Copies of this chain bind each other. A is one copy, B any other.
């Protein structure tokens, strides 16, 4: 089957990420999509130093991409309203499927775009427009489709969450943190879009329509920014058992839909209160499922590209498969399953928590440490508990090591006269890599 051809418009942060993910994961993507996906053309006025575009057709005119008869899917990553709208409408008019990450475009012009797409029988996918790499649109639109959604609430602007997190953790002032965020590239020179909640309102508008089946109505969203939050408010909230987050909230109330973005006190114990830094999270409450939460990076080149490329795969799967095999049962095409082996536990790697009962004699710890050392196991921490009994519990945290090394070390430790009974072993994971 011939490859599906993609035209990327815009080679900035997200465009560059999209190009790189498509290229780096090409083989894995083909195994999932059932068909090769290639970048036929890129419309950009600037090269992106992060991308090796050698061998790919480039043009400075994005409309050339939207009219290129070879292109099946136009990926709009230029941002903004007017030109983006023109581009998307041209692509649709030309019978191209469209994938976009443009929340402003969808929130403001989505209704007309979708109408045009329906008339021309093309797909328009926009997962990347809300919460970056988190597949929240798919979750609401498909994964929770059986529910009457009661409400949703999200941290859907990373800049705002970074500022609120810094203010709380370090007792800093808004303006002070904003300057740092600008220096780090998390906030724009004109930060209005982020800190006044406009960006979040774009995303919330989209989520509310998906949840409640109402047309996109960005103009009716209420927005209040975080610039007036003082460090005292943050501190008083903490004293009361709350944290302040900049939330987008949409609720199906009795007489209508609430659609609002504003700073919000939420109980410190709530999972979403523990979403920190630039990370995003969306809670969705459905009548059947109850509360669910979706967490991940809401911005950045590759997290956003993750959603863009997954949308491309979604479109390709629909274009390619028999009706009944759109998504393969095990995600990959049956003929593309891999025979990479499942490892026995002895060949897996982990850090370890060890607890043992040692007879109180000088030199016990030295003996245990030297066994670990001989097996190539580094010690992270040791606690020796005080006790009145004749034996003392010793707790050791180790660094990562092959399980069979640990098996050997443990049987040697258990053989020591100074150790009573068995060594308790619990694996440790830090989720860092």
Contacts and interface: CB of A to CB of B under 8 A. Distances in A.
A385 B22 CA distance: 57
A45 interface: no
A427 B262 contact: yes
A153 B232 CA distance: 38
Given A264-B426, A264-B427, A383-B239, A144 B306 contact: yes
Binding site secondary structure of chain A: mixed
Contact of A326 (B114, B228, B318, B338): B318
B427 A313 contact: no
B334 A118 contact: yes
Contact of A309 (B146, B222, B431): B146
Given A139-B135, A318-B324, A429 B153 contact: yes
Given A213-B338, A292-B133, A147 B330 contact: no
Contacts of A347: 255-256
A120 to B, nearest CB: 9
Contacts of A36: none
B145 A240 contact: no
A289 B253 CA distance: 34
Interface residues of A, number: 151
A324 B146 contact: no
Given A133-B288, A139-B139, A217-B342, A266 B337 contact: no
A22 B25 CA distance: 40
A307 to B, nearest CB: 8
One complex includes copies of this chain to the number of: 2
Contact of A138 (B21, B142, B251, B336): B142
Nearest to A302: B288
Given A215-B337, A288-B133, A431-B270, A25 B148 contact: yes
Contacts of A275: 271
B222 A345 contact: yes
Contacts of A253: 343, 348-349
Given A242-B428, A290-B296, A342-B214, A146 B25 contact: yes
Nearest to A250: B342
B274 A303 contact: no
Closest 5 CB pairs of A and B: A135-B143, A146-B309, A213-B332, A292-B296, A133-B289
